[in-house]
Structure 1
Amino acid sequence: MDRLKLVFSKDPCQKYYNMTRTLGQGSFATVKLATCKSDQSKWAIKVIKKTSLSPEDEEALQSEVSILQRVNHPNIVQLKEVFDSPNNFYMVMELCTGGELFDRIVTKEHYSEREARDCIRSIVEALKYCHDLGIVHRDLKPENLLYSDYDESKAVLKLADFGLAQLLNDNALMTAACGTPGYVAPEILEGRPYGKEVDMWGLGVISYILLCGFPPFYDESNKELFRAIKSGQYDYPSPFWDDVSHGAKDLIDHLLVLKPEKRYTAENVLAHSWMNEGLSGDVNLGHFKTNMKAYNARRKFRATILTVQMMNTLKPKSGGAVEAAG
């Protein structure tokens, strides 16, 4: 019995949860499916190896936990509780089994502008809630937009992963370069101080993709991609945008704005006429599925390549030392 108590004191999470299969794995964290022993409810537990964390990683983790403990919104993945042990840090998170946004909608046989608008509304509701609390997400991308369930009748779209999120103090601006290529705002690329407007740029990019199946800015070369983003030049090519309403394009035109102060806020988006008007019919966006499948395949292939490249930067020399590629 004493030995059992010792185990629990070292690993308190296992006292309350049974962890089973792995849902995902990163460089210093593993996400496990877990069952709460008291009520048999299902959760996703992020197990973070503390020995793998640098001081900067520890600070970022503390910031993420602090922010998640502040938020409570139906369109944000919830943090239930945390456990700290000598070797691991555990984050008990709401389990989302419905998959990523882009993976989900590409399976639809019929997909309309109205459905795209419903997705956009869920995202912007989450952003407005965060921004009202002074929280900037800073990494809005499809991988961080998850459905709670596969059942269409109860599936809710949720914003996840606040690992790069920051709490603005007295409207102070941020300067750290972060984000994901393709979704990052021009002011970040230019090294200018920035605020919550970067999330609205990301919303503009995702909204564009949700309506046609490909991004407004794309290039295999990050250098050329960033150049395109900083220019702010994009269009609505035919025939892919022929069935999309003027109102939808007008909303995007107010989000993909180079000057942050002129970019729509989350409140502006929710008040926009397109978000509130009755869309005529339920016209299928015919070109969407083919475009979305191709874009999804490209982005996932690129993510795999980037992972391989990262692994290759840490190759042991013949003498056993680790060399970081320059």
Structure 2
Amino acid sequence: MSDQLNKDYDVGALIGRGRFGAVFRCVSRISGELFALKSIDKALLTDPLDYDLSSREAKLHRLAAAGNPLAVQIHADYEDDESIHLVLDFCPGPDLFDRIAEKGAPISEPEAAMLMEDLMEAIAACHRRGVVHRDVKPENVVFDSEGRIRIVDFGSAGWIGDGGGMRELVGTPYYVAPEVVRGDEYGEKVDVWSAGVVLYTMLGGVPPFYGETAAEIFEAVRWGSLRFPSRVFRGVSSGAKDLLRRMICKEVSRRFSAEQVLRHPWIKSRGGTSSPED
């Protein structure tokens, strides 16, 4: 590891692994504060796109997290011949995926609405700074020591602050938007689609689009036919379904923005009974 990194931080136990590296506990040698260290192994960045994304992750992460308390903050970054290292807030977890699995049943509408409000506040703050996360999923939504959500992992983030769009195929199959799969130019509303899939999964316990392979999932997403099977959505309110239709909307021009999601009656009433009827 970087000599300067080792001077500044005491790197401890491994706490997780990802596609391109690992996450460790680390402690500031000056303050004694606990952080998480994300180390990206350059040898695993064999695709030019992956290398480009990883090399600019720190810059986009800092931009997205500035003044955004619902994003994990980046405190320092280092680079050596083998790795890129990011020092981040330590969040003990669990992540939202674990929370959904732990419940063993769909999450209640009031809890889902509260979580979605925080998630969309985090996403809206990113969008205001021209940053698109591009990999919104339950595994990238963690809980801090106070139990509030924090959005993490800007390794796939893109920049639209110059008014341009993006075309790279990035993201996770279950959550990626159809315009990404089609290879169209796209913008920040891909995050709204992904967040809608997260909400659908919280309320229904299953994703809206699935398949046995990534190719089959992508094909289901491409068609984007949103359904609410009665066996899992029988008890879900019309207001929640209305919001889902506006977030998981194949027509980008009709899909809600993050700010519009935050103004929806179901969110404003915290999953209450004041939601619109079908």
Q: Same fold (TM over 0.5)?
A: yes
Alignment of 1:113-262 (within 5 A): 113-149=109-145, 154-262=146-254
Alpha carbons 2:109, 2:203 under 8 Å: kept: yes
Q: CA deviation digits over 1:39-95, x for unaligned, max 9?
A: 211111122344554565443223111111212212111111112344443210111
Alpha carbons 1:43, 1:94 under 8 Å: kept: yes
1:169, CA displacement in angstroms?
Answer: 3.8
Tell me the distance in 2 between the aligned counterparts of 1:88 and 1:223.
31
Q: CA deviation digits over 1:112-152, x for unaligned, max 9?
A: 21001111111101110011111111111121111113xxx
Distance 1:59 1:101, change over 3 A: same
Tell me the distance in 1 between the aligned counterparts of 2:135 and 2:270.
31
Corresponding residue number in structure 2 for 1:102: 97
Alpha carbons 1:23, 1:32 under 8 Å: kept: yes
What's the C-alpha RMSD, in Å, of the aligned pairs?
Answer: 2.2
What secondary structure does 1:240 align onto? helix
Alignment of 1:49-128 (within 5 A): 49-50=41-42, 53=45, 56-70=49-63, 71-72=65-66, 73-108=68-103, 111-128=107-124
Higher mean C-alpha deviation, range 56-65 or range 230-239: 56-65
Higher mean C-alpha deviation, range 88-97 or range 119-128: 88-97
Distance 1:25 1:105, change over 3 A: closer
Higher mean C-alpha deviation, range 97-106 or range 126-135: 97-106
What secondary structure does 1:116 align onto? helix
TM-score (norm 1): 0.76
Alpha carbons 1:12, 1:84 under 8 Å: kept: no
Distance 1:47 1:223, change over 3 A: closer
Alpha carbons 2:240, 2:271 under 8 Å: kept: no
Distance 1:229 1:278, change over 3 A: closer
1:98, CA displacement in angstroms?
Answer: 1.4
Higher mean C-alpha deviation, range 217-226 or range 140-149: 217-226
Gaps (5+ residues) in structure 1? 1-7, 282-326
Tell me the distance in 2 between the aligned counterparts of 1:255 and 1:155.
26
Higher mean C-alpha deviation, range 21-30 or range 125-134: 21-30
State which structure, 1 or 2, has the greater radius of gyration over its C-alpha atoms.
Answer: 1
Alpha carbons 1:12, 1:85 under 8 Å: kept: no
Tell me the distance in 2 between the aligned counterparts of 1:228 and 1:85.
42
What secondary structure does 2:23 align onto? strand
Tell me the distance in 1 between the aligned counterparts of 2:100 and 2:168.
33
Paired letter, 1:60:
L
Paired letter, 1:125:
E
Alpha carbons 1:138, 1:198 under 8 Å: kept: yes
Gaps (5+ residues) in structure 2? 274-278
Alpha carbons 2:266, 2:272 under 8 Å: kept: no
TM-score (norm 2): 0.89
Tell me the distance in 2 between the aligned counterparts of 1:129 and 1:230.
28
1:25, CA displacement in angstroms?
Answer: 2.8
Corresponding residue number in structure 2 for 1:269: 261
Distance 1:278 1:96, change over 3 A: closer
Runs of at least 4 residues of structure 1 off by over 6 A? Answer: none
Alpha carbons 1:63, 1:166 under 8 Å: kept: no
